[in-house]
Structure 1
Amino acid sequence: MEPTPGAAADSVSARPGYRQLLRTPGARSFVLPGFAARQPFAMLTMSIVLLVEHTSGSYTLAGTVAAAAGLSMAFFAPVSGTLADRHGQPAVLVPSVVLHAASVALLSVLALAGAPGWALVAAAVPTGASIPQVGPMVRARWSHLFAAGPDPRTPLQHTATAFESVTDEFTFVVGPVLAAALCTGVHPAAGLVAEGTLTLAGGLLFAAQRRTAPPVGRGGRAGRTGRGGRRGRAGRAGAYRGRRAPALRAPALPVLVAAFFGVGAVFGGMQVSLTAFSESIGRPGLSGILYGVFAAGNMLAGVAIGMVHWRGPAQRRLLVTYPLLVVTASGLWAVAGLESAAALGGLGLAVGVCIAPALITGFTLADALVPREARTEAFTWLTGAVALGQAAATTAAGRLVDGPGASAGFLVPLAATALACATLLLLRRRLHPAESHGTITFRGAGRPVPASVD
Structure 2
Amino acid sequence: MTNPYATIFRAPGAKGFAAAGFVARLPIAMAPIGLVTMLSQTYGEYWLAGAVAATFALTNALVAPQVSRLVDRLGQARVLIPSTLVSVLAFAVLITAAHLDWPIWTLFASALAAAAMPSIPAMVRARWTELFRDGPELGTAFAFESAADELVYIAGASLSVGLSVALFPEAGMLASTLFLAIGSSALILQHATEPKVRSIAREHRGSAILLRPVQIITFALIFVGAIFATAEVSAVAITRELGQPGAASLVIGVYAVGSFIVGIIVGALPLKLPLQRQLAIAIAVIAVTTLPLLVADTVALLALAIFVSGIGVSPTFITAFGLIERLVPQAMLTEGITWVTTGIGIGMALGSFAAGWTIDTFGAHNGFWVSVAAGTIALTTVLLGQRVLGEPRAASPERG
1:419 aligns with one of 356, 377, 384: 377
Unaligned runs of 5+ in 2: none
Cα distance between partner residues in 2 of 1:426 and 1:352: 24
Does residue 350 (structure 1) correspond to residue 336 (structure 2)? The answer is: no
- CA displacement at 1:156 relative to structure 2: 0.6
Query: Residue 33 of structure 2 aligns with which residue?
Result: 46
- CA displacement at 1:390 relative to structure 2: 1.6
Cα distance between partner residues in 2 of 1:96 and 1:328: 39
- Alignment check: 8 A CA contact 1:182 1:190 kept: yes
- Alignment check: 8 A CA contact 1:267 1:390 kept: yes
Does residue 360 (structure 1) correspond to residue 318 (structure 2)? The answer is: yes
Query: Residue 195 of structure 1 aligns with which residue?
Result: 176
Unaligned runs of 5+ in 1: 1-13, 148-152, 221-238, 434-438, 447-454
CA deviation map 1:200-243 (0-9, x unaligned): 111111111111101225x43xxxxxxxxxxxxxxxxxx348x7
- CA displacement at 1:81 relative to structure 2: 0.8
- CA displacement at 1:279 relative to structure 2: 4.9
Query: Residue 69 of structure 1 aligns with which residue?
Result: 56
TM-score (norm 1): 0.78
More deviation, 357-366/321-330: 321-330
Cα distance between partner residues in 1 of 2:360 and 2:168: 24
Does residue 104 (structure 1) correspond to residue 91 (structure 2)? The answer is: yes
1:299 aligns with one of 242, 260, 273: 260
CA deviation map 1:331-362 (0-9, x unaligned): 43542xx3x33222222211221111111110
Q: Which has the higher helix share?
A: 2
Query: Residue 19 of structure 2 aligns with which residue?
Result: 32
Task: Decide whether aligned partners of structure 1 residues 142 and 321 sit closer, same or farther in structure 2, where only a CA change above 3 A counts.
Answer: same
Task: Decide whether aligned partners of structure 1 residues 187 and 274 sit closer, same or farther in structure 2, where only a CA change above 3 A counts.
Answer: farther
Give the aligned length.
Answer: 397
- CA displacement at 1:408 relative to structure 2: 4.9
- How many percent identity over aligned positions? 35
CA deviation map 1:264-300 (0-9, x unaligned): 2233333444444555556555443332221111111
Task: Decide whether aligned partners of structure 1 residues 403 and 91 sit closer, same or farther in structure 2, where only a CA change above 3 A counts.
Answer: farther
Does residue 170 (structure 1) correspond to residue 151 (structure 2)? The answer is: yes
- Alignment check: 8 A CA contact 2:277 2:386 kept: no
Cα distance between partner residues in 2 of 1:54 and 1:405: 28
- CA displacement at 1:250 relative to structure 2: 3.6
Cα distance between partner residues in 1 of 2:292 and 2:98: 35
The one-letter code matched in structure 2 to 1:367 is E
The one-letter code matched in structure 1 to 2:249 is G
- CA displacement at 1:191 relative to structure 2: 2.2
- CA displacement at 1:96 relative to structure 2: 2.4
Cα distance between partner residues in 2 of 1:53 and 1:405: 25
- SS where residue 308 of structure 1 aligns? coil
Task: Decide whether aligned partners of structure 1 residues 416 and 25 sit closer, same or farther in structure 2, where only a CA change above 3 A counts.
Answer: same
- SS where residue 211 of structure 1 aligns? helix
TM-score (norm 2): 0.87
Task: Decide whether aligned partners of structure 1 residues 57 and 341 sit closer, same or farther in structure 2, where only a CA change above 3 A counts.
Answer: farther
The one-letter code matched in structure 1 to 2:252 is Y
The one-letter code matched in structure 1 to 2:221 is F
Task: Give RMSD over aligned pairs.
Answer: 3.0
- SS where residue 193 of structure 2 aligns? coil
Cα distance between partner residues in 1 of 2:76 and 2:229: 28
Cα distance between partner residues in 1 of 2:301 and 2:136: 38
Cα distance between partner residues in 1 of 2:247 and 2:48: 22
Cα distance between partner residues in 1 of 2:27 and 2:185: 13
- SS where residue 93 of structure 1 aligns? helix
Task: Decide whether aligned partners of structure 1 residues 183 and 332 sit closer, same or farther in structure 2, where only a CA change above 3 A counts.
Answer: farther
Cα distance between partner residues in 1 of 2:103 and 2:372: 32
Query: Residue 288 of structure 1 aligns with which residue?
Result: 249
The one-letter code matched in structure 1 to 2:342 is G
Query: Residue 309 of structure 1 aligns with which residue?
Result: 270
Does residue 269 (structure 1) correspond to residue 230 (structure 2)? The answer is: yes
After superposition, residues 13-412 of structure 1 pair within 5 angstroms as 17-54=4-41, 62-110=49-97, 120-127=107-114, 129-147=115-133, 153-216=134-197, 219-220=199-200, 239-240=201-202, 244=205, 246-280=207-241, 285-335=246-296, 338=297, 340-400=298-358, 406-412=364-370
